[in-house]
Amino acid sequence: MKLNPVAHLRRKILLGLSLFFILACGGSGGPSQDLLFTVKLTWDQSADLDLHVWMTPTSQCSQDGCNFEDMEMSPDFTTGTGPELYKAYKGLGSGRLRVGVNLHEIKPPASAGPRSATISITDITGAVVATFGPYVLTDPIEDGGYPVTGDTTSWWRPCDIIVAADGTYSVVAPDMTPLSY
């Protein structure tokens, strides 16, 4: 059976989107040998929680995407319970990655009230390296709260990840010192 060009293009787009969704949600199919680790955010009730990862004030991965190479952020889940994923790949370079969670918004018909967030970090095999939480967030904040220097009712800083030049990494307590611009 021969598809017309429009139907063929739609099929290619749908297949591409399906593959992106599988990869973004932790599925296999990507260059796993290049993956260093994954940070996964989940939460307990419908809301818009956002996963943030900073290396510098201007190098960030969040719901708006990543603005530096060798990192990937999953789509922003604005309802439901996630997950939101951040993936770091070989070639990232050395540095301290700061992990943060923001209670951005609670959209109707979801009920108001606290949300409990959990962070897990997995290695290239999918084995859990570290888990943090649950941490209770109670006050949505759509914009602001920067610099994130500590845990609040809107922000949670569960950990940092220190990456060495050779790609080895360690999960450590968060450095709450403000990033300098």
61 and 8, same structural domain?
no
Boundaries of domain holding 5:
1-30
Q: Report the chain's mean pLDDT, rounded to a whole number.
A: 78
104 and 24, same structural domain?
no
CA 53 to chain centroid? 7
158 and 117, same structural domain?
yes
pTM of the model: 0.77
Asked if residue 151 lies in contact with residue 137, where contact means CB atoms within 8 angstroms, the answer is no
Q: Look at residue 160 in the predicted model and tell me its pLDDT.
A: 96
Query: The sheet that has 35-43: what strands, in order across it?
Result: 71-73, 84-89, 35-43, 115-122, 128-137
22 and 49, same structural domain?
no
166 and 130, same structural domain?
yes
55 and 14, same structural domain?
no
Q: Look at residue 33 in the predicted model and tell me its pLDDT.
A: 59
Q: Look at residue 174 in the predicted model and tell me its pLDDT.
A: 95
What averages of pLDDT result for each successive group of 10 residues across the chain (181 residues)?
A: 40 37 40 81 91 81 74 80 90 89 83 90 95 94 72 93 93 88 58
Give the closest residue to 49 by CA, choosing from 95, 125, 117: 117
53 and 25, same structural domain?
no
pLDDT tens sequence across 41-74: 999 988 889 999 988 767 777 777 777 677 787 8
38 and 26, same structural domain?
no
121 and 137, same structural domain?
yes
Q: Look at residue 14 in the predicted model and tell me its pLDDT.
A: 34
95 and 12, same structural domain?
no
Q: For residues 37 and 152, what is the distance between their CA atoms, to the nearest angstrom?
A: 27
Q: Look at residue 181 in the predicted model and tell me its pLDDT.
A: 58
